[in-house]
């Protein structure tokens, strides 16, 4: 139905009155290049470009345009070359020949007409009553553009005639429902767009401009690119579309957007026609320095140098189909002559254009004699140094030939069609060719494998090229990398060790970002109302790091680690404990050893003068035991210094508790002795027999044993243990001894406090007894100091952080021990050494006033 509508539409176009409809159609549908064979291949190529930007509408006929497109001419003659090469090959289609019908389709209407002519086989006019004779081709190769190909492939697909394009890359053509008979020997833009997105990401460009034409090729291609780019973390600053025939104001708007943008990289998805128009406009406004990324439709086009601003394309990057070689094609093209195709109007015009002559006598031009040769002139038509898309035409012809060969090689009763039948060679249907074309899989002479997937697409393999070194008429295309979509994703894109020429003569990769990269130690913070590529760099908080560039979040360090100053690495937290090597630890150690040394020195003095009255009068046995316990009290503070361990934690508190109880027990015993001694002086009193030396020893032992029992119970139930405190400081670990059972700890301190309080009360009661050897007043002062120290110790201990907790405890031990030493023992030592006259029994027995 659609075909009928198009035919009626074409027939109803206004034409000159003197020209009949049949005659008009007959002229329009004549193939330019034709040769009959057993099987025929159709070709649709755009030999001519539009004239003065004219576009075709169904309101008027398109005007004839001057021949310009050498590449399309090369495509057409490559088709001819391939068919003749196959006809000479005895391994493909033996005993059969391939023919061709190539149409010169310039403009959308001519493309549709050509496709219709190939599908219904119209031949030249027979007569006015019977215009044509049906003669359908078995496959059609063409067109070079996506939009026209979409137009006729949808029509031709209704009749299941295979259409193989060498240049139409729009991903939309992979839709088998819309285009059931479409194939192509060039990869789909689906893969090219993703390859371009990976290319942009590879060079670190996250802020890119996008421009395309308004046709299906550009719109679909750039839309796919934008989606793929966003998946790669690339942002698009703008997307503008235009055509070469847009108004001046529309084109000016596009140029203005490019000029005002901050993106230095521009992705251009369009044909060579649009890019040249855009380059001219940018050249007029002196807009340079842009890094262009090109699609395959223009990146290798040999007419780019026709633009005034073509030098701006130096450094452009883009993917294109791999370069290939076709042996013998160069000689074949050089031998092309109008005499080979006498009915081709185009070939005559082409010949006259190349050699600047006329095959028919004219006054303004020299006359061609047909003996001219292409090998004597330099033209893109015979240039085979960079065959890319031409090779796609070559592969398309061979794909059709292999499909026909497989069709003819079908064994009876083993065929792919209903009831295992094969196609009849005398009546081959296009849908049968379509079936075999879907299954072809062969290798070209150069080793390239040709096959089609279930969507009719070829495997996506590209070369990454760089436009370098412009001359007046050409630019050099240099391959700098490869992309193969058949490989694993992380191995698809590879680079050569080739120097890349960058836009604007830059020596380094251009920078195109909305925001500079966030260094390690910072994270990205998105700017409100802007794309994700626009952000601020926020330093990571303490305890968190980022060790990569452009990190979106900071990672929290493990509990034992903390962030360094740069915030890019987690380092082991500083471990804090009271060490022997630090100043505070050294000072406390010195005081502890000094106290122990002084006590030992006093012990030696007392031992030397043990027979003197002052030593004997103050209960020498308890004095020596007191000096021993005080020495242990001074030295036990050393267990609090150093790295806490399991044994040191258990030892420090128990040793401190037991030695202090032993010390206080001795003082308490001495206090009781003083009281008992004065009690014994009363008439009839025999109290001393109840607290003699044996009782004194037993009382000290019993009181100390109670503390030993408390400590043993503490150690067996819940002993102290080393603990890494990470709660007080975030940036460091405090090594401390956890108490285990707090009840045990406070029971030890409480028992010491109880004994000290009892001793203080008894000493206070005996402080005014009237004898010189009465030491109750010294014990009172010592216990007063002792209790004051430990009362102030409790809040200081609770509130002190880290190692200062240990320092407070050591200070309390040293201060209380020093108080006992200074108040009780040093005065006696002073008398012994410096006032020997007072170290007599008479002096000690002398009464002092109450």
Give 151-164 pLDDT, tens digit per residue.
Answer: 899 989 988 999 99
Tell me the two tokens of residue 187. Answer: 């990869």
> Please, what sign has the CA dihedral across residues 669, 671, 672, 677?
positive
Q: Do 149 and 164 belong together in one domain?
A: yes
Q: Percentage of the chain with pLDDT > 90?
A: 35
In a domain, 789, yes or no: yes
Tell me the two tokens of residue 169. Answer: 């890359």
Find, among 192, 262, 266, 201, the residue nearest to 225 by Cα.
Answer: 192
Whether the predicted pLDDT of 18 surpasses 80? no
In a domain, 354, yes or no: yes
Residue 757 CA, chain-centre distance (Å), reads 71
DSSP states along 126-153: --SSS-------SEEE--SSHHHHHHHH
Tell the residue number behind the tokens 């839309």, with chain if given: 223
Evaluate whether 544 touches 561 at the Cβ level (below 8 Å): no
Q: Do 589 and 567 belong together in one domain?
A: no
What CATH number does the domain containing 316 carry? 3.40.50.2300
Q: What angle do CA 284, 272, 353 make, to 5 degrees?
A: 100
Burial of 306 (0-12, 13-18, 19+ CB in 10 A): middle
Evaluate whether 105 touches 46 at the Cβ level (below 8 Å): yes
Q: Collapse the DSSP code of 352 into the 3-class scheme (helix H, G, I; strand E, B; otherwise coil) and give the result.
A: helix
Q: What is the DSSP pairing of strand 732-738 with strand 574-576?
A: parallel
Say what the pLDDT of residue 491 is: 86
**What does the pLDDT average to over 73-96?**
94
Say what the pLDDT of residue 678 is: 61
What is the pLDDT confidence band of residue 252, given thresholds at 50, 70 and 90? very high
Helix axes 583-608 and 826-834, enclosed angle (nearest 10)? 50
Rounded Cα distance, 384 and 324, in Å? 9
Q: Do 101 and 180 belong together in one domain?
A: yes
Region of 234 (left: φ > 0; alpha: ψ -120 to 50; beta: rest) is beta
Beta-bridge mates of residue 211: 240, 268
Q: What is the pLDDT of residues 759-792, one digit of tens each?
A: 878 777 766 655 554 566 777 777 777 777 777 7
Measured in residues, the chain has a length of 850
In a domain, 397, yes or no: yes
Q: Number of structural domains, the chain?
A: 5
Q: Do 620 and 733 belong together in one domain?
A: yes
Rounded Cα distance, 377 and 351, in Å? 12
SS (H, E, C) 589-638: HHHHHHHHHHHHHHHHHHHHCCCCHHHHHCCHHHHHHHHHHHHHHHHHHH
Beta-bridge mates of residue 465: 318, 479
Evaluate whether 740 touches 719 at the Cβ level (below 8 Å): yes
Q: Percentage of the chain with pLDDT > 70?
A: 86
What is the pLDDT confidence band of residue 185, given thresholds at 50, 70 and 90? very high
Rounded Cα distance, 663 and 758, in Å? 14
Residue 607 CA, chain-centre distance (Å), reads 81
Tell the residue number behind the tokens 């030939």, with chain if given: 401
Q: What is the DSSP pairing of strand 265-269 with strand 317-320?
A: unpaired
**DSSP label of 456:** S
Helix axes 21-28 and 2-11, enclosed angle (nearest 10)? 110
What is the pLDDT confidence band of residue 1, given thresholds at 50, 70 and 90? very low
Evaluate whether 700 touches 662 at the Cβ level (below 8 Å): yes
What is the pLDDT confidence band of residue 804, given thresholds at 50, 70 and 90? confident
SS (H, E, C) 302-347: CCHHHCCCHHHHCCCEEEECCCECCCCHHHHHHCCCHHHCCCCHHH
Tell the residue number behind the tokens 């975030």, with chain if given: 730
Q: Do 50 and 172 belong together in one domain?
A: yes
Q: Do 670 and 541 belong together in one domain?
A: no
How crowded is residue 339: how many other Cβ atoms within 10 Å of its Cβ? 9
**What does the pLDDT average to over 80-103?**
94
What CATH number does the domain containing 747 carry? 1.20.1070.10
Say what the pLDDT of residue 23 is: 35
Rounded Cα distance, 482 and 688, in Å? 110
User: Of 116-120, 380-384, 554-558, which range is least confident?
Assistant: 116-120
Rounded Cα distance, 188 and 75, in Å? 19
Q: Do 277 and 132 belong together in one domain?
A: no
Say what the pLDDT of residue 24 is: 37
In a domain, 439, yes or no: no
Q: For the sheet with 574-576, list strands across it.
A: 574-576, 732-738, 721-725
**What does the pLDDT average to over 320-328?**
92
Q: Do 644 and 658 belong together in one domain?
A: yes
Whether the predicted pLDDT of 365 surpasses 70? yes
Evaluate whether 540 touches 553 at the Cβ level (below 8 Å): no
Range of the domain at 716: 583-682+711-845
- The better pLDDT of the pair 797, 773 is held by 797
Neighbouring residues of 329: CB distance < 8 A, sequence distance ≥ 6: 78, 81, 384, 387, 390, 394
Say what the pLDDT of residue 731 is: 82
Whether the predicted pLDDT of 394 surpasses 60? yes
Q: Do 720 and 826 belong together in one domain?
A: yes
Q: What is the pLDDT of residues 37-70, one digit of tens each?
A: 999 999 999 875 433 333 333 344 444 444 346 7
Say what the pLDDT of residue 406 is: 94
Q: Collapse the DSSP code of 370 into the 3-class scheme (helix H, G, I; strand E, B; otherwise coil) and give the result.
A: coil
**What does the pLDDT average to over 166-187?**
93
What is the pLDDT confidence band of residue 7, given thresholds at 50, 70 and 90? very low
Rounded to the nearest integer, the mean pLDDT of the chain is: 83
Q: Collapse the DSSP code of 548 into the 3-class scheme (helix H, G, I; strand E, B; otherwise coil) and give the result.
A: coil
User: Of 36-45, 284-293, 649-658, which range is least confident?
Assistant: 649-658
> Please, what sign has the CA dihedral across residues 77, 82, 83, 88?
positive
Based on its alpha-carbon atoms, the radius of gyration of the chain, rounded to whole angstroms, reads: 53
**What does the pLDDT average to over 120-147?**
68
Choose one of 521, 545, 572: the last residue of a domain: 572
Q: What are the helix (H) ranges across 439-582?
A: none
How crowded is residue 742: how many other Cβ atoms within 10 Å of its Cβ? 10
Q: Do 469 and 358 belong together in one domain?
A: no
Whether the predicted pLDDT of 818 surpasses 50? yes
Say what the pLDDT of residue 3 is: 43
Q: What is the pLDDT of residues 671-693, one digit of tens each?
A: 777 677 665 554 544 555 555 66
Whether the predicted pLDDT of 554 surpasses 60? yes
Tell the residue number behind the tokens 């630090």, with chain if given: 582
Say what the pLDDT of residue 689 is: 56
Tell me the two tokens of residue 172. Answer: 């939309």
Q: Do 669 and 811 belong together in one domain?
A: yes
Rounded Cα distance, 191 and 561, in Å? 46
Say what the pLDDT of residue 10 is: 41
Whether the predicted pLDDT of 480 surpasses 90? yes
**DSSP label of 567:** S
In a domain, 444, yes or no: no
Q: Do 72 and 145 belong together in one domain?
A: yes
Rounded Cα distance, 435 and 285, in Å? 54
First to last CA, the chain: 140
Burial of 484 (0-12, 13-18, 19+ CB in 10 A): middle
Whether the predicted pLDDT of 26 surpasses 50? no
In a domain, 513, yes or no: no
In a domain, 694, yes or no: no
What is the pLDDT confidence band of residue 121, given thresholds at 50, 70 and 90? low
Tell me the two tokens of residue 309. Answer: 């601003």
What is the pLDDT confidence band of residue 520, given thresholds at 50, 70 and 90? very high
In a domain, 201, yes or no: yes
SS (H, E, C) 770-799: CECCCCHHHHHHHHHHHHHHHHHHHHHHHH
């Amino acid at each position: 139905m659609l075909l009928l509508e198009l035919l009626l539409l074409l027939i109803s176009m206004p034409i000159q009155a003197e020209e009949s409809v049949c005659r008009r159609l007959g002229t329009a549908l004549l193939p330019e290049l034709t040769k009959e064979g057993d099987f025929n291949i159709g070709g649709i190529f755009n030999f001519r470009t539009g004239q003065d930007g004219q576009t075709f509408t169904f309101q008027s006929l398109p005007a004839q345009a001057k021949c310009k497109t050498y590449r399309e001419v090369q495509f057409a003659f490559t088709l001819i070359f391939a068919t003749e090469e196959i006809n000479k090959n005895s391994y493909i289609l033996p005993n059969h020949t391939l023919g061709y019908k190539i149409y010169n389709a310039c403009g959308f209407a001519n493309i549709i007409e050509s496709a219709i002519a190939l599908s219904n086989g119209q031949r030249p006019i027979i007569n006015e009553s019977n215009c044509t004779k049906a003669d359908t081709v078995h496959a059609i190769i063409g067109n070079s553009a996506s939009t026209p190909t979409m137009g006729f492939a949808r029509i031709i697909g209704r009749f299941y005639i295979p259409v193989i394009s060498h240049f139409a890359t729009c991903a939309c053509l992979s839709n088998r429902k819309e285009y059931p008979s479409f194939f192509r020997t060039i990869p789909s833009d689906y893969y090219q767009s993703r390859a371009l997105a990976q290319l942009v990401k590879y060079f670190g460009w996250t802020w890119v401009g996008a421009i395309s034409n308004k046709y299906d090729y550009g719109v679909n291609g750039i839309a796919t690119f934008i989606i793929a780019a966003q998946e790669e973390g690339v942002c698009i600053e703008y997307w503008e579309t235009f055509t070469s025939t847009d108004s001046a104001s529309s084109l000016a708007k596009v140029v203005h957007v490019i000029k005002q943008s901050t993106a230095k990289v521009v992705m251009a998805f369009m044909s060579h026609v649009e890019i040249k128009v855009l380059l001219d406009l940018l050249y007029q406004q002196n807009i340079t320095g842009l890094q262009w990324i090109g699609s395959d439709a223009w990146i290798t086009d040999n007419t780019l140098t026709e633009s005034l601003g073509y030098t701006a394309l130096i450094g452009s990057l883009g993917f294109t189909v791999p370069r290939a070689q076709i042996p013998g094609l160069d000689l074949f093209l050089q031998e092309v002559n109008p005499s080979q195709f006498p009915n081709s109007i185009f070939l005559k015009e082409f010949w006259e254009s190349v050699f600047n002559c006329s095959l028919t006598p004219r006054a303004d031009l020299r006359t061609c004699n047909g003996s001219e040769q292409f090998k004597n002139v330099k033209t893109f038509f015979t240039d085979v140094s960079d065959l890319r898309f031409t090779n796609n035409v070559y592969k398309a012809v061979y794909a059709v030939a292999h499909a026909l060969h497989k069709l003819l090689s079908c064994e009876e009763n083993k065929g792919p069609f209903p009831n295992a039948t094969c196609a009849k060679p005398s009546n081959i249907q296009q849908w049968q060719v379509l079936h075999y074309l879907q299954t072809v899989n062969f290798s070209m002479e150069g080793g390239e494998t040709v096959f089609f997937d279930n969507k009719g697409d070829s495997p996506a393999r590209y070369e990454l090229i760089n436009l370098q070194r412009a001359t007046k008429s050409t630019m050099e295309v240099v391959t700098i990398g490869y992309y193969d979509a058949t490989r694993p994703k992380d191995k698809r894109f590879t680079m050569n060790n080739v120097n890349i020429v960058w836009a604007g003569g830059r020596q380094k990769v251009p920078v195109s970002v909305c925001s500079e990269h966030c260094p390690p130690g910072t994270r990205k913070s998105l700017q409100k109302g802007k794309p994700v590529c626009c952000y601020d760099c926020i330093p990571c908080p303490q305890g968190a790091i980022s060790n990569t560039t452009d990190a979106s979040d900071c990672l929290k360090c493990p509990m034992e680690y903390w962030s360094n100053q740069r915030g890019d690495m987690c380092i082991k937290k500083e471990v804090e404990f009271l060490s022997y090597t630090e100043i505070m630890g050294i000072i406390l150690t010195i005081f502890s050893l000094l106290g122990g040394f002084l006590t030992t020195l006093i012990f030696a003095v007392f031992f030397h003068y043990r027979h003197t009255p002052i030593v004997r009068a103050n209960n020498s046995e308890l004095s020596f035991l007191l000096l021993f316990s005080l020495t242990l009290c001074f030295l036990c503070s050393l267990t609090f210094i150093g790295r806490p361990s399991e044994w040191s934690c258990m030892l420090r508190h128990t040793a401190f508790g037991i030695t202090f109880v032993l010390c206080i027990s001795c003082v308490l015993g001495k206090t009781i002795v003083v009281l008992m001694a004065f009690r014994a002086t009363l008439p009839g009193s025999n109290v001393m027999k109840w607290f003699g030396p044996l009782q004194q020893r037993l009382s000290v032992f019993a009181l100390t044993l109670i503390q030993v029992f408390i400590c043993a119970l503490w150690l067996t139930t819940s002993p102290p243990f080393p603990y890494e405190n990470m709660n007080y400081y975030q940036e460091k670990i405090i090594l401390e001894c956890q108490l285990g059972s707090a009840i045990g700890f406070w029971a030890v301190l409480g028992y010491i406090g109880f004994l000290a309080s009892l001793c203080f009360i008894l000493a206070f009661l005996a402080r005014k007894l009237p004898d010189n050897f009465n030491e109750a007043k010294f014990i009172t002062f010592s216990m007063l100091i002792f209790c004051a120290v430990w009362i102030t110790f409790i809040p200081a201990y609770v509130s002190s952080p880290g190692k200062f907790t240990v320092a407070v405890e050591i200070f309390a031990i040293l201060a209380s021990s020093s108080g006992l030493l200074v108040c009780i023992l040093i005065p006696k030592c002073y008398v012994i050494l410096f006032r020997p006259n007072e170290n007599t029994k008479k002096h000690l027995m002398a009464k002092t006033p109450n």
